Amino acid sequence: MKKLALLGAMALSILSHAVVGAEGKPVRIGIEAAYPPFASKAPDGSIVGFDYDIGNALCAEMKVKCQWVEQEFDGLIPALKVRKIDAILSSMSITEERKRSVEFTHKYYNSPAKLVMKAGTDVKDVKTELKGKNLGVQRGSIHDRFATEVLEPAGVKVSRYASQNEIYLDLSAGRLDATLADATLLEDGFLKTDAGKGFAFAGPDFTDPKYFGEGIGIAVRKNDTELRDKLNAAIDAIRANGTYKQIQDKYFNFDIYGN
Amino acid sequence: MIFDYTVVWDSLPLYMSGLLITLKLLAISLVLGLIIAVPLAFMRVSKRAAVNLPAWLYTYVIRGTPGLVQLFLIYYGLAQFDAVRDSWLWPWLSSATFCACLAFAVNTSAYTAEILAGSLRSTPHGEIEAAKAMGMSRFLMYRRIVLPSAVRRALPQYSNEVIMMLQTTSLASIVTLVDITGAARTVNSQFYLPFEAYITAGVFYLALTFILVRLFKRAERRWLAYLAPRNG
C-alpha cells in the first residue's frame, strides 16, 4: 500500500512538472542562416550573427525560452502563417505588402541597399547605365521587388536566386555584372571575403521607403499582438540597458540602428 | 478565401513563358540524350570488355548520382576553376540554359542507354538468323533489323524515361531559369501563396504528362501492334 502511495505521489509530481513545462512553451523563431554577418553557419554547424545574438538577448529580456528554426527566406512567412514558427527574426524589412500578411515589431536596425560591381565601375544614373547588364537579386526580397518594378522595365536583365551565396558565386564566375542587396550584408558577406576581391560598392544608396521600407523588424502572426508588444518592450529595454550596443560593436563599427 | 484564382489568372503569362522554357529544356535534352545513348547502348551489349567497360562505368556513375548533384557540379562546380572560365567553353558554360540542357542530356543518356541495351539483348534469335540468311552485312543487319526492332520494344520503358525527364526539368529553376517551377517560385515569393502557386505548376505538369502518355500510346499502337496480345 505504501509503495502504491509513493508511486502515486511520483506520478503526480511528474504530471505537475509536465504542466509547468507546458506553460513555458518555447517561442520558435524562424531564421535563414545564409546572411552574414546577420546570420550564418559556424564551422561546427551552429548559427552565429547579429540577428541570432539580438534574438537571444530579446528572449533573455522577455525571460522566455527560444528555439531557433532554420528555413529558406521565401519560406519564412508561409511557415509563420501555418504556425510552424512564432516569429521571424531574419533581417526582414518592414514593407506594406508584408504588413498585409504579418504583424511587425518596430525596427531593430536599418541599413541602406547598395549595388556591388567590379571595382572601378562608376554608376551615376542606375537606370541608363545598368541597361543590358545582368543583375542578381535574392528571390522574394525587397531588392527583388525594386529590381522587378524599377530596373527590369528599364532594360536590366534580372536573375533571381534562392540565397545571396549563389549570387556571389555567379558574380565571381562572371555570369552577373551586379547585385543589389543590403550594404552591411554585402560588406561582410562578400566584399570582406577572399571571393569579394576585385569588387566594390557602386552607385548611390537606395533608401526609397516605398521599396526599402521602414527598417528591419521582427514579424509575428497577424493576431499575435501579445508577442509583438513583448518584443517591442524588449527591443526598447536592450537599447536602453546597453546590451544592444554591446552586440552591435561585436559586428559593426557604425550605428546600425539608424536614426 | 480558399483558393485565390485572381493570383493564378494574373500570373498566367509567367506560367506560359515558363511552359515554353520547360518544353525547350525537355526537347533539347531528350534529343541530345538520345544521340549519346545509341552508341552507348551498342557499347553496353558488346562482349569485348574494353568497349563495354567505359559505357558501363558511365551509366553506373550517372545513374548512381542525383540529377540535382550533376546540375550543381556543372553550373556552380565548373565555374569555380579559372581554367574553365578562361577557356573557349565559357561562353556556353556561363549560360544557365546550356548548363541545364547539358546536365539533363547527360542524365537521360545513361538511362536511355540502359533501356536500349536491354532491348538489344532481347532481340529474338530468329530475326538475326533470318537477316543472316538473307546475306545481310553486319552493318546492314544492325541498321535494318536489330536497331529498329530494339527501339520498338524499348518504347514503353522509354515513355517512362521521357515523363521522368519532364519532372526532372523542374530542377532548372534552381539555376535561375524561370520554367514552370521557376514561375511558381516567383509567384510564391511575390504573393506568399504557396498552395496556389504550386497547384498551378502541378496542373501544367499533369497536362504535359497526359499529352506525352497519349503520344506514346499512339506510337505503341502503331509500331508495337505485332506484339500486342491477340484475341482468338
CA distance B192 to chain A (A): 6
CB A247 within 8 A of CB A50: yes
Q: What is the mean pLDDT of chain B?
A: 92
If you average pLDDT over each of A138-142, A161-165, B21-25, which comes out highest? B21-25
pLDDT-based confidence at residue B12 (cuts at 50, 70, 90):
very high
Stretch among A15-19, A46-50, A94-98, B19-23 having the lowest mean pLDDT: A15-19
CA distance B175 to chain A (A): 8
Stretch among A15-29, A158-172, A244-258, B189-203 having the lowest mean pLDDT: A15-29
As beta bridge partners, residue A178 has A117, A135
User: Which pLDDT does position A112 carry in this prediction?
Assistant: 82
* Domain architecture of chain A: domains with CATH: 24-110+215-251 (3.40.190.10), 113-212 (3.40.190.10)
pLDDT-based confidence at residue A23 (cuts at 50, 70, 90):
very low
pLDDT-based confidence at residue A9 (cuts at 50, 70, 90):
low
pLDDT-based confidence at residue A20 (cuts at 50, 70, 90):
very low
User: Which pLDDT does position A124 carry in this prediction?
Assistant: 83
Instruction: Please give the residue that has the higher pLDDT: either A12 or B67.
Output: B67
Helix axes B180-191, B12-45, angle to 10 degrees: 140
State the first-to-last Cα distance of chain B, in angstroms, to the nearest integer. 58
Reported as a single tens digit per residue, the pLDDT across B129-139 is 999 999 999 89
Question: Chain B residues contacting A, CB < 8 Å?
Answer: 76, 79-80, 85, 90, 94, 96, 174, 176, 178, 185-186, 188-190, 192, 194
Peptide bond into A37 cis (omega under 30): yes
As beta bridge partners, residue A134 has A157
3 state SS of A179: strand
- pLDDT at A199 > cutoff 80: yes
Contact check, Cβ <8 Å, B79/A170: yes
Burial of A15 (0-12, 13-18, 19+ CB in 10 A): exposed
As beta bridge partners, residue A87 has A29, A220
Helix axes B180-191, B194-223, angle to 10 degrees: 170
What values do phi and psi take at A220, rounded to 5? Answer: -130, 175
* Domain architecture of chain B: domains with CATH: 5-223 (1.10.3720.10)
Pairing of strands A40-41, A178-182: unpaired
Q: Which residues lie closer than 8 Å to B172 by C-beta, 6 or more apart?
A: B21, B22, B25, B71, B96, B100, B104, B179, B181, B182
CB B141 within 8 A of CB B95: no
Contact check, Cβ <8 Å, A169/B174: no
pLDDT-based confidence at residue B226 (cuts at 50, 70, 90):
confident
- pLDDT at A18 > cutoff 70: no
B83-103 average pLDDT score: 91
Amino acid identity at A17: H
Chain A residues lying within 8 Å of B79, measured CB to CB: 169-170, 172-173, 175
Reported as a single tens digit per residue, the pLDDT across B172-217 is 998 989 999 999 998 988 888 889 999 999 999 999 999 999 999 9
pLDDT-based confidence at residue A5 (cuts at 50, 70, 90):
low
Q: Which residue from A minimizes the CA distance to B83?
A: A173
- Please give the ipTM for the structure prediction: 0.74
Reported as a single tens digit per residue, the pLDDT across B72-92 is 999 999 988 888 888 888 888
Separation between Cα atoms, residue A115 and residue A203, nearest integer Å: 6
Q: Cα–Cα distances in Å, from A48 out to A41, A190, B3, B32, B64? A: 6, 16, 39, 46, 36
Separation between Cα atoms, residue B232 and residue B229, nearest integer Å: 10
User: Which pLDDT does position B80 carry in this prediction?
Assistant: 86
Reported as a single tens digit per residue, the pLDDT across A47-60 is 999 999 999 999 99
B104-131 average pLDDT score: 95
Q: What are the DSSP E strand ranges found in B45-148? A: none
Q: What is the mean pLDDT of chain A?
A: 87
Q: Which residue from B minimizes the CA distance to A72?
A: B189
Chain A residues lying within 8 Å of B194, measured CB to CB: 78
Q: Which three cell numbers stand for residue A68?
A: 531557433
- pLDDT at B13 > cutoff 70: yes
Q: Which residues lie closer than 8 Å to B62 by C-beta, 6 or more apart?
A: B70, B106, B107, B109, B110
B35-57 average pLDDT score: 95
CA distance B25 to chain A (A): 18
| DSSP letter (8 states) at residue A216 | E
In the block, cell 498552395 appears at B195
Query: Beta-carbon neighbour count of residue A85 at 10 Å?
Result: 25
Separation between Cα atoms, residue A181 and residue A141, nearest integer Å: 9
Q: Which residue from A minimizes the CA distance to B193?
A: A78
Amino acid identity at A187: E
Contact check, Cβ <8 Å, A139/B192: no
Separation between Cα atoms, residue A214 and residue A108, nearest integer Å: 10
Q: Which residues lie closer than 8 Å to B83 by C-beta, 6 or more apart?
A: none
pTM strictly above 0.95 = no
Contact check, Cβ <8 Å, A162/B85: no
Reported as a single tens digit per residue, the pLDDT across A24-74 is 689 999 999 988 889 999 999 899 999 999 999 999 999 999 999 999 999
User: Which pLDDT does position A207 carry in this prediction?
Assistant: 77
Reported as a single tens digit per residue, the pLDDT across A210-232 is 888 788 999 999 999 999 999 99
Separation between Cα atoms, residue B79 and residue B61, nearest integer Å: 22
Question: Choosing among B192, B195, B198, B199, which should be mutated to test the A contact, i.e. which has the most A CBs within 10 A?
Answer: B192
- pLDDT at A17 > cutoff 50: no
Q: Which residue from A minimizes the CA distance to B75?
A: A170
